[in-house]
Amino acid sequence: MRRADIKSVLQIVAALLLCLPTLAQTPQKPVDLNGTWTTDDKQMILVQQNGTAVTTTFKAGRQECKYGGGRAKLIVQGTLSESVLSGYYMACATSEQLVKDCKAKPDYLTKFTATVSADGKSISGKYLADGWGYTEKGAHWTDCHADVDYEAWLDFSLRKCGAMTLDSPDNFKITSDPRMPVINAEITDAPGGKVSWESQIKFTAPTISCSGGPDFDSDMVTGNGPKFSPDFGNFYGGTLKVTATSECGKESQDKQVLGTDPGKSAIQAALGSASPPFDPDDLKRIACNESGQCQFRGSGDPLFGKNGDAGIMQICYARKAADIWNWQANIATGKAILQAALAFSKKIPALVRTKTVRGQGPFPDATDFTSDQARLEAIKRYNAGFGSNSGYWQWDPVSKEWVANPQGGIVDYVNLVLSKSPTCPGPCAVP
């Protein structure tokens, strides 16, 4: 074997050493080789161990490893006694015939010996670099013959990579308080304790005619160290992706962040009593008509209407992430919309007196709305918006009075709202 090949052989041997069956006679704490390991040159080695059957897969870093399309499964025979590993390896042995040939001739296998640290997190030892038959033109192993004329023991070392854990005491659900879930990520035993983190929540809301979105993604949150608890600064739900980068490479995990509906009692308490000219229960009736007084489905998914309206109050115009994932914010937005509708409604008589509205007018003798008329106009415009051709009332120049003539949105919206019970029995539903 050429001396120039020694370094490259080291990488394979280091990988092979991990493929050892656990045959400890009666160790007090059995060594577990399962997991991911890394060599000094950052090569990643994956070990799967099932009793005495051990398979190692590694990302091939040697030109000579032509088998397996750049990844090779390595077959190793070895024993573990106390903390001492000893045995034999075969490099790049993914050819079934080659494996049979080498197993039939044990003297063709290369020896190694190593020691596992007391904590089971590192392996150090040496292997016998006797060489292998290799043909440049064929680019494959020609046989399993060890070159007995050349013998050198080479040192190696490996460190076990800690596995990434991602959990949440809140089961990755926004709580009914509401509060974003506590998210805990950790990598134990990262080489050098050096870990950098990235985390983001992404969500695309359904949208047909609603504005705002449709993407409601959080900012990217970063951190450093073995532990990571991202704070997204606001309410977001959807697909959470957490990525850790260490000397062992990158590892990512995804989780779904969902919501928890607080229940109708909590929603009704937050809705409270509407101020005059509204009936005290009008907000509850609107919420019942809009969503059945629900923010989330039983699955934890947000409740959307057919046009993309969100949550309890079915917020559509300029939706924000909080309207989707924070039920209290959703109610606050709904209250603000109703108050804006009331303020606009009170201006309608003056508008009718000076301008053409709905193709008629102006009507200088149009009277101001009564409190009840302003109430019904505002409820209608909660659903129909502030267009001049929308609303509930129309001035009749013959009878000199306001007559009901609902326009825009759901035409019968006011009657639907007033027919609802403030306690809203029944399931979640959108109109």
Report the distance separating Cα 85 and Cα 113, nearest Å. 5
Q: At what angle do helices 327-354 and 371-384 cross, to 10 degrees?
A: 120
404-407 long-range contacts, CB within 8 A, separation 24+: 404/376, 406/380, 407/358
The one-digit pLDDT tens for each residue of the chain (431 residues) are 444 444 444 444 444 444 444 333 344 466 777 777 777 766 666 666 655 554 555 554 333 333 333 334 444 556 666 677 666 665 544 455 555 555 555 544 567 777 878 877 888 888 766 544 333 222 333 344 444 444 567 787 888 888 899 999 999 999 999 999 999 999 987 777 789 999 999 999 998 889 999 999 999 999 999 999 999 999 999 999 999 998 887 889 999 999 999 999 999 999 999 999 999 999 999 999 999 999 999 999 999 999 999 999 999 999 999 999 999 999 999 999 999 999 999 999 999 999 998 889 999 999 999 999 999 999 999 999 999 889 999 999 999 999 999 999 999 999 999 999 999 999 998 87
β-bridge mates for residue 73, sequence order: 57
**DSSP assignment, residue 173?**
B
**DSSP assignment, residue 165?**
E
pLDDT of residue 26: 41
pLDDT of residue 44: 67
pLDDT of residue 72: 40
The two tokens of residue 285 are 């009736």
pLDDT of residue 233: 96
pLDDT of residue 113: 77
- Say which residue the tokens 């039939």 belong to: 104
pLDDT of residue 410: 94
Q: Give SS3 for 291.
A: helix
Which whole-number Å values give the CA distances from 184 to 7, 191, 197, 221, in the listed order? 40, 20, 12, 13
Sorted by sequence, the CB contacts under 8 Å of residue 304 that are 6+ apart come out as 205, 206, 310, 430
Does residue 211 contact residue 318 with C-beta atoms inside 8 Å? Answer: yes
CATH architecture of 264-418: Orthogonal Bundle (1.10)
The two tokens of residue 299 are 């699955």
The two tokens of residue 375 are 């109430």
pLDDT of residue 13: 44
Q: Give SS3 for 124.
A: strand
Report the distance separating Cα 121 and Cα 158, nearest Å. 9
Residue in 269, 286, 294 with CA at minimum distance from that of residue 335: 286
Fold type of domain 3-161: Lipocalin (2.40.128)
Q: At what angle do helices 282-291 and 327-354 cross, to 10 degrees?
A: 110
What is the reported pTM? Answer: 0.76
Does residue 175 contact residue 181 with C-beta atoms inside 8 Å? Answer: yes
